[in-house]
Chain A
Amino acid sequence: MDTVNIKINGRPYTVPSNYTVLEAARAANIDIPTLCYLKDINAIGACRLCLVEVKGARGMVTACVYPVNEGMEIVTNSPAIRAARKINLELVLSNHEMKCLSCSRSTSCELQTLCNEYGVNAGHFAIPHDVTYKVDDSSAAIIRDNNKCILCRRCVAVCDKYQGVSVIGALDRGYDTHIGCAFEGKLGESSCINCGQCIVACPTAALRERDDTAKVFEALADPKKHVAICTAPSVRATLGECFGMAPGTDVEGKMVAALRHLGFDGVYNMNLTADLTIMEEAYEFLDRLQNGGKLPMITSCSPGWIKFCEHYFPDFTENLSTCKSPQQMFGAVYKTFYAEKHGLDPKDIFFVSAIPCTAKKFEVQRDGQSAAGVPDVDVAITTRELGRMITVSGIDFVNLPDEEFDEPFALASGAGEIFGATGGVMEAALRTAAEVVLNKKLECLDFSDVRGTDPIKRATYKLGDIELKVAVCSGTANAKELLTRVRNGEEQVDFIEIMACPGGCVNGGGQPTQPAKVRETIDLRAVRAAVLYKSDKKNDLRKSHENSAVKALYDEYFGAPNSHKAHEVLHTSYVKRGLYNK
């Protein structure tokens, strides 16, 4: 690797020659503030918070886009620099709606943090014609409030480069520049896939999830309602972050305890319906494989991916597994099987899911998701919303003693656990499909080729005389690349797992936000996924088809995987939406 010798604040450093000043400084443990910078995808020098002095350069330069070179002398901290950054913050604030007191991002807002550090209270540069934007609340999942937008374009970069959706962009110019959809269209009517990656990229609260906590509190306070909740695999791996715990802390027991404190009548483990999904999906796959069904089959757990497929690859909707997602299966099982068994009217059940995902808010409203004649799931709340509910209810989360999920939906396998990370669904399905096909127990249950955070992973497995080609990808831009190759016949695959969010649900759009700086130094995807893989490893039960709670569901209610009854309750259909049809 080529290196150069530079000086930062008078001290010598040797750094790779392809570094920017920002990268060199951060490698030397010197922080330079940034707002618009997002590693790898948004280095545009727009916010001008990363100003530094470089000897010989004209004026101050923006560290995020300025490359280092041999002998460069950089100053990152001087009275002039601090003054310039302060003025730039005041400029950013000049048209910022400063309603910090009740803002959903207060204390986790990157702009607020910098203003605090630099002692900036207000924008001193009043704009001659102040603009107030109408809040776009047309989407089931995502609220856009341009009054809080600082035009950093991080959301635009993520939407385009990670997700390949590119449904938001910078429109008009000058004072009128704002982020929006083509022709000022509404987000809810666009081809937005509701993945929420824009929310976790946003430094402020210009993008946020639709807050559904009031509906849940209302149901909890209604004595006539039976209110139950199930939690998705990855929520336990991230919820602690809402309470200042380190990323990668497993808080399953505390989470269950907190939900009981909130007053839910049943607190259940969605990992169980992840196992149920695997049963349905593995058998569906084997049926397609052995009976000439549509291949490659593609997983259907990620509602962001589903909407992406419907808009961008409508010719692939027959390839989607017809299985509902674990969230929807849970609600469906609860309002049919459980309600019948306990004499409950499905109309009196209020079923909540706690999920790492904003797209689930759209999914609960889809057609074909109401097995009992009422929506399978009433409200889907993100990890962030759950965190807020726990906080406002005065529950001392960090010090709660661990509790266990409620029966009969507590037991789950390690296969269900790893659903929350990219590759997890594939691995879980392979464990079951392989044992069904080979009719014997596998010696090694780790399918490590499909693990990890690589954008697209491929593997070939031999199941007896069947050679099985599988592929796994996360981030819909990667899905676009993979499916384009499949469509063009450049690649043959039998089974594909796709998750909309890069790294899978552990990095979902509903997960706790972390500042860009933290995301740069910690691979959140890997750290959070490690929680799930660790817990899979230590679980005695690691295969979905050996889960006795799932077996009981089949014995008592569904009969067999893909039975008529299972199809009625656990499967769904899709829409060919296409693009620009309005």
Chain B
Amino acid sequence: MKKKQTTVAFRGTPEQEAQLKAVIEKYRGTKGAMLPILQEAQDIYGYLPIEVQTIIARETGVSLTEIYGIASFYSQFKLNPAGEVAINVCLGTACYVKGSQDVIDEITAQLGVASGSVSPDGKFSLEATRCIGACGLAPVMTINGDVYGRVKKNEIAGILAKYK
């Protein structure tokens, strides 16, 4: 899948940068360490924006393009931060059959946030997830950990209103 570039301003702190540099130091000289570095960088920042990947490129000497190639290849790496309100819609088989794509489309239409991205103010993020194991509630979505089952299109506005 094509990854979407973030439009949210980077809010990294010097502490996070120090943590990241310690991680890179830990792996210095280890061959094939880019994956664990990226994983730990994502643990620190929550996602991998250009600012974070640039630090990694500078510190490791691996080109930014090569790093971005890895980050854009694996679906576990995020280029967008989670929003204050993180919406996850299950796109597992059962939910999909029950119409979760319509749910995603409706949320995108109402919030202007495409799947895999975050609103420019960092408020709402929308992710399509794999099966979350609640097929009995299909189609299912979670918002900041709250679970909503058997979601119907016409209920979405009401649900979202609670988080605005």
Instruction: Tell me the A residues contacting B by CB distance below 8 Å.
Output: 160, 165-174, 176, 180-184, 579-580
Contact = CB atoms under 8 A, between A and B. Distances in A.
A171 B53 CA distance: 14
B73 interface: yes
Interface string B76-111: 000000000000000000000000000000000000
Nearest to A183: B50
B65 A172 contact: no
Contacts of B68: 169, 171, 182-183
Contact of B63 (A166, A176, A183): A166
B58 interface: yes
Given A171-B68, A184-B5, 19 more contacts: A160-B66, A165-B63, A169-B63, A169-B65, A169-B69, A170-B69, A170-B73, A171-B65, A171-B69, A171-B72, A172-B73, A181-B65, A182-B63, A182-B65, A183-B53, A183-B64, A183-B68, A580-B57, A580-B64
A129 to B, nearest CB: 11
Interface of B: 1-3, 5, 50, 53-54, 57-58, 63-69, 72-73
A140 B25 CA distance: 38
A166 B67 CA distance: 10
B67 A182 contact: yes
Nearest to B67: A182
A576 to B, nearest CB: 16
Nearest to B57: A580
A169 B71 CA distance: 12
Given A580-B54, A580-B58, A169 B3 contact: no
11 contacts: A166-B63, A169-B68, A171-B65, A173-B72, A173-B73, A174-B1, A182-B63, A182-B68, A183-B50, A580-B54, A580-B64
Nearest to A174: B1
A169 B34 CA distance: 15
Contacts of B67: 182
A171 B68 CA distance: 7
A171 B73 CA distance: 7
A176 B1 contact: yes
B160 to A, nearest CB: 29
A386 B84 CA distance: 59
From A174, A176, A580, name the one whose CB has the most chain B CB atoms within 10 angstroms: A580
B73 A167 contact: no
A270 to B, nearest CB: 34
A172 B2 contact: yes
Nearest to A580: B54
A580 B58 CA distance: 9
Give chain B's interface secondary structure class.
helix
From B1, B53, B57, B66, name the one whose CB has the most chain A CB atoms within 10 angstroms: B66
Nearest to A190: B65
Contact of B72 (A168, A172, A579, A580): A172
Nearest to A176: B2
B1 A167 contact: no
Contacts of A160: 63, 66
B80 to A, nearest CB: 12
A173 B76 CA distance: 13
Contact of B3 (A166, A167, A168, A172): A172
Nearest to A166: B63
A175 to B, nearest CB: 9
A314 to B, nearest CB: 13
A127 to B, nearest CB: 14
Nearest to B58: A580
Contact of A182 (B3, B53, B58, B73): B53
The 10 closest A-B pairs by CB, nearest first: A166-B63, A182-B68, A169-B69, A182-B64, A176-B2, A169-B65, A182-B65, A580-B54, A172-B72, A173-B73
A166 B66 contact: yes
Nearest to B54: A580
A545 to B, nearest CB: 43
A166 B57 CA distance: 12
B76 to A, nearest CB: 12
A291 B26 CA distance: 46
Contact of B50 (A171, A180, A182): A182
B63 to A, nearest CB: 4
A166 B65 contact: yes
Nearest to B50: A183
A183 B105 CA distance: 26
B58 A579 contact: yes
Contacts of B5: 183-184
A579 B63 CA distance: 10
Given A172-B1, A172-B3, A167 B65 contact: yes
A173 B67 CA distance: 14
A438 to B, nearest CB: 43
A158 B56 CA distance: 23
Contacts of A171: 65, 68-69, 72-73
Contacts of A173: 1, 72-73
A182 B70 CA distance: 10
A166 B50 CA distance: 17
Contacts of A169: 63, 65-66, 68-69
Contacts of B72: 171-173
Contacts of A176: 1-2
Nearest to A181: B65
A180 B73 CA distance: 13
B145 to A, nearest CB: 29
Contacts of B1: 172-174, 176
Contacts of A170: 69, 73
A176 B2 CA distance: 6
A485 to B, nearest CB: 15
Contacts of A183: 5, 50, 53, 64, 68
B62 to A, nearest CB: 8
A170 B73 CA distance: 9
Nearest to A184: B5
A180 B57 CA distance: 17
Contacts of B65: 166-169, 171, 180-182
Contacts of B64: 182-183, 580
A167 B69 CA distance: 11
A395 B57 CA distance: 51
A160 B65 CA distance: 10
